Amino acid sequence: MIARILSSAQAGLLLVILGLATILTLLAGSHPDRITGEPVNNFLNSYTLIQTATDASFFAIMAVGATIVIISGGIDLSVGSIYALAGVSAAMVLRAVAPDGAFATVVVGLSVALGVGLACGLINGLMVVGLQVHPFIVTLGTMWMLRGIAFVASGAQSIGLPAALTAVAKAPLGLGELLYPVPTLSMLAIAALGAIYLRQTVMGRHVFAMGGNPEASRFSGLRLTRIQIGVFAISGLTAGIAAFMGASFYGSASCVDATGYELYVIASAVVGGASLSGGKGSAVNAMLGAVLIVLIRQSIRTLHFDQNYEWIIIGCAIIIAVTLDQANARLTARRLARAAARR
């Protein structure tokens, strides 16, 4: 049992994360606490740890949905643009409607963000199925289209959100001043729901089956078009959730929000072990991949390296992760071939 746990992908990612965190703790230095005057490690303190998790949470939530698309054999490049459009739409509706009461404000904002995200995901899925065009091309196009719609609709302005939403996203939940755990808890909840969907439901098993062998899945009677539309709808929905949480946390929404998040989302999924050829991936691993990427960014800032190295390191991480995945697939294929030959 212990050997199985240690050999799992989650254990490997956790060991890397813990190793990097240990290095940061040792090299980050310390500063005096502003109240007690006691030395506080620049990395290993509650504020930095929660802030690091918060930074990861917004694209980790999207990475869960994008990983489901990747497992099915597709890819979604439009998640950042869906995030921007969902956030801008929620802000514009709330500004126009101005609901009475904090609860109504939160419900309207959440409904709009999730509705826009779900609609964009459904459009992606319907276009992939209806046009019979590769998801890379479709979502590349919608990536530009949706961000353009957000730009035109908002007039390239940053739109403020009501304080009621910020109060929810920045609720301290008893942890104290400047400690906001809600985004982190949302990330953990979405990752848990994604894991349950993929591993404990028939629909999730169908997603793995489609990504692993589309032809066999078709001959076995699976409705592949419905599965494709469904995975893109989930990806859009998680982008809407991330948009609501991110816009609420920062108190505003803009058409340039989440620019470049596509790289972080796909990198999180790939570093987490998802295979771009389909049939392999994990929602929990995608979340851990996002945390690892944020820790890399944190390392560059904490150790005072040139921040331009961030892109180089993340790009290298993607290449290494894909290379290791392909090498593992080849080794597995050879092992199975040898086992078959012995029979």
Question: Would the pLDDT of 329 be above 70?
Answer: no
pLDDT over 90 percentage in the chain: 52
CB 243 within 8 A of CB 257: yes
Closest Cα partner for 82 from 282, 246, 322, 316?
A: 246
d(CA 244, CA 179): 19
Question: Would the pLDDT of 324 be above 60?
Answer: yes
Q: How many CA atoms lie within 13 A of 340 on its CB side?
A: 6
d(CA 10, CA 94): 40
Name the token pair of 67. Answer: 């990983």
d(CA 290, CA 340): 38
Residue 93: what pLDDT?
94
d(CA 206, CA 15): 31
Question: Would the pLDDT of 7 be above 60?
Answer: no
Residue 99: what pLDDT?
82
CB 76 within 8 A of CB 124: yes
User: Residue 101: in which H helix or E strand, if any?
Assistant: none
CB 214 within 8 A of CB 73: yes
The CB density around residue 188, as the number of other CB atoms within 10 Å, is: 17
Question: Would the pLDDT of 76 be above 90?
Answer: yes
Q: Give me the mean pLDDT over the 288-315 stretch.
A: 80
d(CA 150, CA 139): 16
pTM of the model: 0.90
Band (pLDDT 50/70/90 cuts) for residue 312 is confident
Q: Give me the mean pLDDT over the 41-58 stretch.
A: 87
Q: Greatest CA span in the chain, whole angstroms? A: 73
**Among 73-77, 164-168, 172-176, the least confident range:** 172-176
Sign of CA dihedral 20, 22, 27, 32: positive
Give me the CATH topology for the region 53-342: ABC transporter involved in vitamin B12 uptake, BtuC (1.10.3470)
Residue type, 306: D
CB 265 within 8 A of CB 79: yes
Q: Give me the mean pLDDT over the 332-337 stretch.
A: 74
Q: Where are the alpha helices (DSSP H) in the chain?
A: 2-6, 9-27, 46-71, 79-97, 102-131, 135-154, 163-169, 182-200, 202-212, 214-219, 224-250, 261-271, 283-302, 309-342
Residue carrying the six token digits 């169908």: 206
Residue 9: what pLDDT?
60
Residue carrying the six token digits 């190295």: 309
Question: Would the pLDDT of 174 be above 90?
Answer: no
d(CA 124, CA 195): 23
Band (pLDDT 50/70/90 cuts) for residue 108 is very high
Band (pLDDT 50/70/90 cuts) for residue 151 is very high
d(CA 68, CA 229): 12
Question: Would the pLDDT of 136 be above 90?
Answer: yes
